[in-house]
Amino acid sequence: MSVKYSPVQWTQSKLFYDAIALALVVAYVLIYLRVAPTFTGGVPSADGAIVRARAFGTCAFLLLTVILCIGPLARFDRRFLPLLYNRRHLGVITCLVALTHAAYVLNWYFNFSSTPRFEALLTSNTSYGQILGFPFEAFGILALLALLVLAVSSHDFWLSFLTAPVWKLLHYAIYPAYGFLVAHIALGALQSETNATFAVVTGCSVVLVCRLHAAAAIHETRLARTATVSASQEDAWFAVGKLTDFEEGRAQIRLLDTGERVAVFLHEGHLAAIGNACAHQNGPLGEGRILDGCLTCPWHGFQYRLSDGCSPAPFTEKVPTYNLRIDGEVVLVDARMNPLGTKVDPVPLPLVTQGAGA
């Protein structure tokens, strides 16, 4: 456990999720190959290469849709968090599926051209000034390049080397990648479809992603608004929530006006507040569990004491602590973080609340 880079091995849970994801991809492709020729218009069943290309293409689109839905869903339901922690693996699988789709396209449509395949791909259609007949291949190439960058940089080495803020900014490229992919489909495959099934699935997928992200943004805004300044104090104390909002071993996470996120945990009848970002790679500590008396980061298992934010010896990582107080039924946190290593006595819950909770 160190802030220096060290390789993180696959755990049993990660292997389990990877196996499930691969099994679902194989099942989808096999089902598509058998079912699609019976209802997909414009694609004769004899053109097996076209059907295979579309099988992997639609699979990549649906996988990317799922990836973009996981984040917002995890905001509303903690049961999606295991998927969130393994989302990078799913992204690599999506990139491999997209590459397979591209390989089928190149080998089928450009294999018999006298022009080299990649050159033919880029020069066969240059009608960029029109909508109908627009060279949709360009959007597919851009989407694939973005997925390649995300897949290559998904390893923890790049997260450590680039630093968490830069790495996270880089991985926002998944949103333009999705936009490019939607444009690639809308200006390409959907133009020749006579069956509405694919268009309906594509449209519903895009609407689902947009609605989930909008709902998550509204949810985050409402949570931020609960952090209001207490008028009885000159210093900025922010409301975290009511006493009844807290569950044993779980945290309430709030965004402060300082831009920092604080995680307030209820543990053994006491409340304690620490910074939400793990000192290792900015993992979400507030989504972790308390094991052996220490808060354990859900990403890579780094641990911290709730009382002082320090890792147990011999490790030296530290996260800031915050002061708490209870005003009636409301838990308040001081937005000013304490210096690293500052010990703060946990705040006991009122006896009446503890009795009601029992």
SS3 content of the chain, % helix, strand, coil (to 5): 55, 15, 35
238-265 b/e (C-beta count within 10 Å ≥ 16 → b): bbbbebeebeeebbbebbbeeeeebbbb
Nearest CA among 324, 216, 348, 314 for reference residue 273:
324
Q: Give per-residue pLDDT as tens, 283-312.
A: 888 888 888 888 988 877 889 999 999 998
- Whole-number Cα distances in Å, 236 to 85, 277, 290, 323, 324: 34, 21, 28, 11, 12
Query: From CA 357, how far away is CA 171, in angstroms rounded?
Result: 42
pLDDT for the residue 3: 44
DSSP characters over 166-225: HHHHHGGGHHHHHHHHHHHHHHTHHHH--SSHHHHHHHHHHHHHHHHHHHHHHHHHHHHH
Residues 6+ apart with CB under 8 A from 191: 132, 136
Highest mean pLDDT among 184-193, 226-235, 262-271: 262-271
Region label for 30, one of left (φ > 0), alpha (ψ between -120 and 50) or beta (otherwise): alpha
Res. 231 pLDDT band, cuts 50 70 90: very low
Q: Give per-residue pLDDT as tens, 310-340.
A: 998 888 889 999 999 998 888 999 888 899 9
- Domain 237-357 annotated CATH 2.102.10.10: yes
What is the domain partition of the chain in residue ranges?
Answer: 12-223, 237-357
Looking at residue 64, the DSSP 8-state letter turns out to be H
- pTM beyond 0.95, yes or no: no
Q: Give per-residue pLDDT as tens, 95-126.
A: 999 999 999 988 887 777 677 777 777 777 77
Res. 193 pLDDT band, cuts 50 70 90: confident
Whether residue 226 is predicted with pLDDT greater than 80 in this model: the reply is no
pLDDT for the residue 280: 80
pLDDT for the residue 39: 62
